[in-house]
Amino acid sequence: MSLGLILYRLGVTLLEPFTPGILVSRARQGKEDPVRHDERLGVASVDRPAGPLVWIHAVSVGESLSVLPLIERLRARRPEATVLVTSGTATSAELLGKRLPAGAIHQYAPLDTPGSSSRFLEHWRPDLAIFVESEFWPNLILGAKRQGAKLVLLSARITAKTARGWSWAPGLARTVLGAFDRVLPQDRASADRLARYVAPGPLVNLKYVGAPLACDEAELARVRAQVGGRPVVVAASTHPQEEVFVADAFRRLPPTDPPALLILVPRHPERGGEVAEALKDLSPGRRSTGEPIGPGDRVHVADTLGEMGLWFRLADVAVMGGGFAPGIGGHNPLEPARLGAPVITGPHAFNFQDVYAEMLAGETGALLAHSEADLSRLIGELLADPARARRIGEAGRAFAASKSAALDDAWAQLEPLLP
């Protein structure tokens, strides 16, 4: 056993007696689900169904969305297997509660303490455990391995920061990564970083996979009637400070006839009140409070969950959040691209640098704004030239369709390991 693993286990063992109190405190801050926080201690809220079980762990919203096509394929081709999905955030839990197919169960991920991980694994006894992107929990991973589960690290994303952290405990990294039967990186940079500790398999990026986001057609018609003939700019999955940044760029647009409408969709819907307050001089309505989009509104805050398919269908231009503030890394541009919306990203979308490199080349679905002035200029150009906007959007749609083979690639690697 490596020194790094010994120290890790000692640290989480000493922390374990305090975890119930920590969870209660976090629940008061809105960071945990107070009704289900026992799941974080490894106490299951539902029985384990009989038969084989595939466990998929996806930490947050982006990862959870990326595994939905895989879950649907598992349920279609291996209906006798239960699919257990764990995630760590209330937003992802709410989303998965709405989107998981029959035969799939959601639980909050247990803390990686000895007691919590043991209770979780003893109850669920997974036959195959799939960890998505960058989730490395030694007690859960090694505990599942000891139980005899097959292990896959799927769509693995290893940042330079993560790699630097591993350099301080290479033995721990080798032990944890060596437990996986398949390690499938999502990009070449991650593969190179993983190769220092384990032999990675072929590249598989689940975020390339997916059908166009769904929406309620009746609601789409209702909101479209509220919008009227106005051009619509949707700023999707925005983070703190980005809403003001986008709104300031929007203010600088040349006048349009009829006036353009900005719809802001914060990544975390609970920030809706904060966003509306920051832009109170524009008197934005809020979706969560039931306010319709009025005929004179310039800005609307769409602070609800699971309606991105609705907003992208309305968008003449989609501004993707997460790329205008340093340190976030951007969000998936293929979601608006699948619905034909031309995308504008900021310069900090490093989590999707490979896909953006292709989409930015020859305006294959996306444009890059380095500054507020850039963003205002690009939005204005697309609104003034609908033919160009449609051309960019259709190029993005075709590009997104070309990436759908990633699910087949993932399935080819996973199928031999299925129970």
Give the residue among 249, 216, 221 at the shortest CA–CA distance from 235.
Answer: 249
Q: Which residues have a catalytic role annotated?
A: 63
Q: At 123, which amino acid appears?
A: H
260 within 8 A of 230, measured Cβ to Cβ: yes
For residue 398, what are its two tokens? 């075709």
372 within 8 A of 404, measured Cβ to Cβ: no
Which segments of 263-352 does DSSP mark as H helices, in order? 272-278, 308-314, 334-337
The count of C-alpha atoms lying within 13 angstroms of the C-alpha of 265, restricted to the half-sphere facing its C-beta, is 22
What CA–CA distance (Å, rounded) separates 128 from 145?
10
Give the residue among 57, 53, 39 at the shortest CA–CA distance from 108.
Answer: 39
H or E element at residue 170:
helix 170-178
266 within 8 A of 286, measured Cβ to Cβ: no
Q: At 248, which amino acid appears?
A: D
DSSP string for residues in 225-281? HHHTT--EEEEEEE-TTHHHHHHHHHHTSPP-SSPPEEEEEESSGGGHHHHHHHTGG
